Chain A
Amino acid sequence: MTTRTKAKPAASQPAAPRMMTGAQIVVEALREQGVSVMFGYPGGAVLPIYDALYGQDAIRHILVRHEQGAGHAAEGYARSTGQCGVALVTSGPGATNMVTPITDALMDSIPMVVITGQVPTHLIGTDAFQECDTTGITRSCAKHNYLVTDVNQLARIMHEAFYVATAGRPGPVVIDIPKDIQFATGQYVGKAGITKPTYVPQRTPKAEAIKAAADLMTRASRPIFYTGGGVINSGPRAAEKLRELQALTGFPVTSTLMGLGAFPASHPDWLGMLGMHGSFEANNAMHDCDLMICVGARFDDRVTGRIDAFSPDSKKIHIDIDASSINKIVRVDVPVVADCAEALDALITEIKALKRKMPDLTAWHSQIDGWRARRCFAYKNSSDVIKPQYAVERLYGLTKDRKTYITTEVGQHQMWAAQFYHFEEPNRWMTSGGLGTMGYGLPAAVGVQAAHPDALVIDIAGEASIQMMMQELSTAVQHKLPVKVFILNNEWMGMVRQWQELLHGERYSHSYSESLPDFVMLAKALGGHGIRCDKPDELDAKIQEMIDHPGPVLFDCRVERAENCLPMIPSGSAHNQMILGEITGNEIGEAGRKLV
């Protein structure tokens, strides 16, 4: 007879430490964080992590063609889902190629965790093959970064990185993992309870700030909501609360480039985007308002124009979760440090509790209607040549009733997309606002499509921008991500050309591409479908062909070559000094010429 010792009940003894390799810790932490899609490119210093990814199916890995593409794809994924994007790249050039997307995500407050391989610990500092000082290089362009030197800290750092990337104002976090740490065995810890005690953003607003804001809001006669990307970043609840507060007050709403979609463009109180290429009514309303309620925006120079003439007669309320954004550029009267949704919710409650009769806004609305009547986005259409504005209008008309996500590159086409494509919901619009990264749109679309396989994802592009990341069409083909690239092809770097016309006496220095790829053949070469259109009357049918095609499409839309993007606030000018009709070349003064 054999005796068996009965095992003690599991609950009474501490769980055995979960030991695994560093590479397995990385994958397990990603899985525990709920990551289902990541973007990356392998190389020597991350091979153990790639080995740990092999054969598992919890996380879908999208293999890109250039590390920068992985970063922008992770950004697109994050913006369209509200989840943290994840990218995995190797050391040295893999890491340096990620610097642009990391900076882009910092400028636009996109939550992203970037894992970079590093040479083994004992080789750090020896100029080893594919070594670079990743944490040094990314220190000023990431929200935070880590160099992992102990495998037993790896799991905690992974979880902490997700906390830091998503808490408060979101941003990119870099985790640099030497190859020997990926091979070493260490203890896995779960994500429960892991935060960062020195980083606890204030989410709920102070009561006195809300009282002061509500008091101003119930007395204003020319109020305006100026909303930004913070409303999107805060989550769908913030957009709901914005709509609720607007319905309660009847105030008109404008938004930055980054905030489009938080408020429905079909709403009668929607003024359109503000800023350099914003609407006449939005900019004039900003200039003439007596109360500005800034929600999750940061008074960027593209938005404010000339600062000393910026909205001179208004009281300003600024809601931002990042205290350093408040009073950075423009002095405000009521700072509210809080999450947008929390602050908007508190304002709704406070205004309802005040039970005050809201001021009569009839005069203000009729003044705004006067500005609207200028029809600032009107353009001269043509039956011979496709106007870029018309192309975006038709694209909008033919796709607005679908579940459509729009990404863009950077330049004139981006501004036309912002002016002529209208958004009803948040998270449907992905664009590189702060950094202005040409090449963002296609990889971002890849990321969006990976998150929303059934949606229609369109990158509105220019023929110059698209060439910066066009290799990612191959990624889309491999992973069966049917993104559509709608190129407004005017053969010029259009915004550069426009500025040269405006500022440099029409001396078009190096802004014309004398050689362009045949985009239809290029699409074929990369395994996609190519469409070309240069006649306005064929445009609808060809856009429909693009929509109906089941795979990735490059659409070469030949448009008017010399079209300018208007209206425009010339640099160094105020909101009420917009160029509406035509550029004369005398709009910008000496000081304005020195600005970007």
Chain B
Amino acid sequence: MSDASMKPGAGPKSAYFLSHSDEAVERRTLAVLVDNEPGVLARVVGLFSGRGYNIDSLTVAEVDASQHRSRITIVTQGTPHILEQIEAQLLRIVPVAEVIDITNSKSGIERELALVKVAGTGEKRVEALRIAEIFRARVIDTTNESFIFETTGASEKLTQFIDLMRPLGLVEVSRTGVLSIQRGKEKG
């Protein structure tokens, strides 16, 4: 090889540089159907940590006891290239039966539940209750100085509700993370 074609320090990028890493990051909700066997959640979560993927939220529960099937809903972020890899890597896990891209499916529905504790008296307390009515949040516990609201909906709606409660004495929030399903009569 001639010296001309051998250019030391020509500013190479990392050998691990992925050709599509300049793509924009997208948010994606994935439903992962798995055999409910010991360690399956650790396998899924370990894949994300081991390969450096993000998890924004995660929910998991058994949904079909007779078939030992659990449904894991993961909200993640990445470039389209990374998201494609996440799906392929998830399918490689032996007990993973199916991966559904809820975000890119026209019929995907996402819901989340939040429990919101608000403490206050006087006008703030009345205002909190009035906003809760607008959001159709239910009061599930009350004392003279506090409410606990239960509210369901899209994640953005919950965030909006929580933001409105903040100046009214917001104490604590508990959220389930996103659950998902598809519209219509078909499964999955």
Contacts and interface: CB of A to CB of B under 8 A. Distances in A.
Interface of A: 135-136, 139-140, 143-145, 147, 149, 164, 196-199, 280, 301, 304-309, 322-324, 326-331, 570-574, 576-580, 586-592, 594-595
Interface string B19-41: 11000000000000011001100
Interface of B: 1, 5-20, 34-35, 38-39, 42-43, 46, 50, 81, 84-85, 88-89, 91-92, 94-97
A306 B85 contact: no
B13 A139 contact: no
A139 B95 CA distance: 13
B12 A572 contact: yes
Contacts of B9: 588-590, 592
Contact of A572 (B15, B46, B88): B15
A370 to B, nearest CB: 13
B7 A301 contact: no
Contacts of B10: 589
A589 B8 contact: yes
A199 B97 CA distance: 7
A592 B14 CA distance: 7
A571 to B, nearest CB: 6
A329 B46 contact: no
A436 B5 CA distance: 30
A322 B94 CA distance: 12
Given A139-B39, A589-B12, 13 more contacts: A306-B12, A306-B17, A307-B16, A307-B19, A308-B12, A324-B85, A326-B88, A328-B85, A331-B20, A576-B5, A577-B7, A587-B8, A591-B12
A591 B18 contact: no
Contacts of B11: 589-591
B94 A577 contact: no
A308 B14 CA distance: 9
12 contacts: A144-B94, A145-B39, A147-B38, A198-B96, A199-B95, A307-B18, A576-B5, A580-B1, A587-B8, A590-B11, A591-B13, A594-B14
A327 B84 contact: yes
Nearest to B39: A135
A308 B13 contact: yes
Contacts of B34: 198
Contact of B13 (A143, A145, A306): A306
A164 B92 CA distance: 11
Pairs of residues from A and B, 5 with the lowest C-beta to C-beta distance, nearest first:
A589-B9, A324-B88, A572-B12, A144-B94, A198-B97
A324 B82 CA distance: 11
B15 A164 contact: no
Contact of B50 (A140, A197, A331, A587): A140
Nearest to A594: B14
A147 B88 CA distance: 26
A139 B46 contact: yes
Contacts of B89: 324
Contacts of A136: 39, 42
A504 to B, nearest CB: 15
A578 B1 contact: yes
Nearest to A588: B8
A324 B91 contact: yes
Contacts of B35: 198
Contacts of A586: 8
Contacts of A147: 38-39
Contacts of A589: 8-12
A145 B93 CA distance: 11
Nearest to A141: B50
A196 B97 CA distance: 10
B15 A306 contact: yes
B97 to A, nearest CB: 4
B5 A199 contact: no
A186 to B, nearest CB: 18
B94 A196 contact: yes
B5 to A, nearest CB: 6
A62 to B, nearest CB: 28
Contacts of B81: 327
Nearest to A305: B15
B95 A198 contact: yes
Contacts of B16: 301, 307
Contacts of B5: 576-577
Contacts of A595: 14-15
Contacts of A326: 88
A579 B6 contact: yes
B102 to A, nearest CB: 20
Nearest to A196: B94
A324 B84 CA distance: 9
Given A139-B46, A304-B15, A308-B17, A323 B91 contact: yes
A307 B18 CA distance: 7
Contacts of B43: 139
Given A577-B1, A589-B8, A330 B13 contact: no
Nearest to A284: B1
A11 to B, nearest CB: 33
A331 to B, nearest CB: 6
A139 B41 CA distance: 11
A589 B39 CA distance: 44
A144 B93 CA distance: 8
A164 B50 CA distance: 21
Contacts of A308: 12-13, 17, 19
Contact of A307 (B6, B17, B94): B17
Nearest to B86: A324
A121 to B, nearest CB: 13
A139 B12 contact: no
B62 to A, nearest CB: 15
A198 B94 contact: yes
A46 to B, nearest CB: 21
Contacts of A323: 88, 91-92
Nearest to A571: B15
A324 B81 CA distance: 11
Contacts of A573: 12
Central interface residue in A139, A198, A307, by most chain B CB within 10 Å: A198
B124 to A, nearest CB: 48
A308 B20 CA distance: 10
Given A136-B42, A586-B8, A324 B15 contact: no
A330 B1 contact: no
Contact of A592 (B12, B18, B19, B97): B12
A419 B15 CA distance: 23
Contacts of A331: 19-20
B80 to A, nearest CB: 10
A452 to B, nearest CB: 31
Contact of B6 (A139, A587, A594): A587
Central interface residue in A301, A576, A591, A594, by most chain B CB within 10 Å: A591
B20 A199 contact: no
A324 B15 CA distance: 19
